[in-house]
Structure formats: C-alpha cells, structure tokens
Amino acid sequence: MVGAGLAGLSAAMALTEKGYRVTLSEAARHAGGRCRSYDDPQLGTRIDNGNHLVLSGNEAVARHLAPIGASDRLTGPAEAAFPFIDLRDDTRWTLRPNAGRLPWWILSEARRVPGTKAGNYLDFARLMRASADRTIGDTIAPRGPLWERLTAPLMVSALNTAPAEASAALAGAIIRETLAKGGDACRPLIATPDLSTAFIDPALAWLDKHGATIRLGRRLRAIEGNRRVEGLAFSDGTDPIAPDEPVVLAVPSWVAAELIPGLSVPTEHHAIVNGHFAVAPPSGAPLLTGIVGGTAEWVFAFPDRLSTTTSAADHLCDMDREDLARLLWADVSKTLDMSSRVPDMPRWQIVRERRATFAATPEQDRLRPGAATPLANLVLAGDWTATGLPATIEGALRSGETAARHALAMGA
C-alpha cells in the first residue's frame, strides 16, 4: 500500500479486514493527505487544513467510521437545514428539505429558496439525466434565483469548478446522493473536534491494532517491473513484491502519472481557499451558513473559531494574505452580525491549496482512470479516479473500497 490519505486508509482497512498483512507507506510525515488537522501557531489553536463537510447519507463515510469507533465524531443538526444569506440585499433564508424521498418541500415557500417556484426544481431532474459530455450550463439555464441562490453555490462547493463549466453528469450524481434521497440523507455533518480526530487517528490506531505496518516519511521513487510490480523503490530502499502480492497506489494524480508512464489522469486542477479566525462564534450561530454574493461561500462555526471556504478559488491564490483575510472577515462579520461584538478583525490564518481537486469538467472527468492498471498486481485509489463522484471524502473512501475489491480478486 502506498499513500495514507483517506483512499489509502480505506483500502488498507478493507484488506486488513480480509486477513491481509498490510504495509502502508506514506511520503509525508503525517497521514490524511488533504484530510488532516494541525496545530497552527499563528492562531494558537488546532485547525483542519481544509473545511470538509459530509452528509448523513454518505454511506462510505459511515462504513469508515463505524469499525474505528468514530461514528460519534460527526456533529450536525437533527434535521436537514441550510441557512443562507445573500449579501447583495441581506436576504436570509433556510433551505429545509423534508425527511422523506418525496420532495414536497419544494411546494413550501418557507422551505425553498426565496423567489423560486416549484417548477424551477425540475432543473435537478434534468441534471440527473444528463449525459457525460454535457456541462451544467448546457443542461440548465445558469441564471435566475434558483441558480444564484442554490444550484451554483451547491455545485461550486461540490465540484470545485465554475458551475456552468462543470460536468452535468457529476452534478447529477451529487443530486442523486443528496436532495433526491430526501432530508434524512442531507443533514450536514462536521468532524468533531477536527478531521484527524474523526477520520485519521482512529483509523491508524485500528490498523496498528490489527497488525498493519505504517511507515511515514517514505516517498515512492519508482515502480519496478514490466507486466507486474516486482519492487517498490522508496527513498530509503526498495521493497520486493511477491508474485501474488497486490499493490494499491493511493497517491495524488500527478504522482501516479509520473510513476506509471502513459496513465490517463486529470491534468487540470482548481484551488480551495480557507480563512480561519480565532474568535468563538456568537451564541446560537448555525454550524454552517451559505453565503451568496461574497468572497466567502460558507462559514463554519467551530467552538473556538470561525472558518470560511471558497471553492474554485484560483483567482484568490495570489492575493495579498491580509487583504484576503479582511475580505473574508467582512463576509463573516456581516453573516453572523458580529460588528458590534468584534469590531476589529481577530487573529487570522489563510490556507490556500492550489491543486485541491481536479477540474470537474466533462473533459477532465473522461481522463479519470479506473482502479485497474497495465500492471497486473497494481490497482489505483483516490478521489481523482473514476468513482462516479467529484473529489469528495465520500468519493475517496469509495475508491479505497473499490481498490481493495480489485486487490482481493487478484488473490482469488
């Protein structure tokens, strides 16, 4: 096993459960990849390297957390409720999908987006029927209240790509996995107290308890062999691979492309920017608030800090850090009505990940490979592989499960 992000951990756990003696090597000195937490000296608190949201209907998330005893480390409201503010006119509303699959909530003005009619929501059905070569902009009209106040915010956060240019098929997959399943599957959940505590540390402890070997700070330099993997050349030496030994490669797409000549992988990526502010949220603040018309797109209210996320944020990557922090704080302050309570910007941190996810366009989606590779005993895992979902926690975990099934089939 190479790579200890979520995909690699998922595959390692699945293989360990089936009796394999797993050795998991990771280039970084920490596990988790883009899903991890660390102590930030500027803020004086522990933060996640990115704000990640999962939903109550994410089945792979549930399968990952249950065996490691972390199912209780997700926090969220008792029902599906998504508060929003449109900063352009200070309109506030809460999207409230009903619990069951029959979407009667779209008939209720109190539950749907202001300015929309029930018929507008047929856009979601069109996206669920879209073919793989279509963009969202090809499939539905990228304008109007539903687009501006729900479809675009939802899709840019899920696909990390300008919504009109993004894959309609991937957008349809998001709708099928969320709103089409009803509110019971749409409750927003956030890792508590942080990503590593929920997803990573207990997985590493579980693997260690069940006999896996975990080796951090070990970069894979080359894969040896022609028709099958015969050796893995790491920075500290080469591990021989037995003829019947499967290898799971769960590394970033650009690393996989360097290691496997001719491998088709996505070549375009987009950034995600997160702002963190060392101030406790006001009493009663929602766990998550969507923002329309601002620089920030979502505000997360953690017990000891407020954090923002902006997706498809390439345009913010070269901006002065403090200028960017002030823009984001202005959005947070207005959203949570904090100007009188916190007149000055608190201590802050900006985290920019330039290659956060692949660009979720139809063209890039076609470049995503399956789990199998030209090498008979090598399989791939990662949210950039052909999971049928965009690059999400759920997609990463499913890719690890798929890779493990392929690896198990090799030894059958």
For the domain 269-358, what is the CATH code? 3.90.660.10
Q: Distance (Å, rounded) from C-alpha 32 to C-alpha 199? A: 8
For the domain 6-40+60-74+193-266+362-410, what is the CATH code? 3.50.50.60
Q: What is the pTM of this model?
A: 0.96
pLDDT tens-place values along the chain, 412 residues long: 999 999 999 999 999 999 999 999 999 999 999 999 999 999 999 999 999 999 999 999 999 999 999 999 999 999 999 999 999 999 999 999 999 999 999 999 999 999 999 999 999 999 999 999 999 999 999 999 999 999 999 999 999 999 999 999 999 999 999 999 999 999 999 999 999 999 999 999 999 999 999 999 999 999 999 999 999 999 999 999 998 899 999 999 999 999 999 999 999 999 999 999 999 999 999 999 999 999 999 999 999 999 999 999 999 999 999 999 999 999 999 999 998 889 999 999 999 999 999 999 999 999 999 999 999 999 999 999 999 999 999 999 999 999 999 999 986 4
- In the chain, which residues fall in CATH 3.90.660.10? 269-358
The secondary structure of 344-381 as a DSSP string is S--SEEEEEEEEEEE--SHHHHHT---SB-SSTTEEE-
DSSP H or E stretch at residue 198: none
Residue type, 165: E
Per DSSP, the three-state class of 334 is helix
Q: Distance (Å, rounded) from C-alpha 327 to C-alpha 296? A: 8
Task: Name the token pair of 159.
Answer: 């696909």
Per DSSP, the three-state class of 294 is coil
Report strand pairing: 269-277 vs 188-191: unpaired
- In the chain, which residues fall in CATH 3.50.50.60? 6-40+60-74+193-266+362-410
Closest CA to 175 of 165, 185, 160: 185
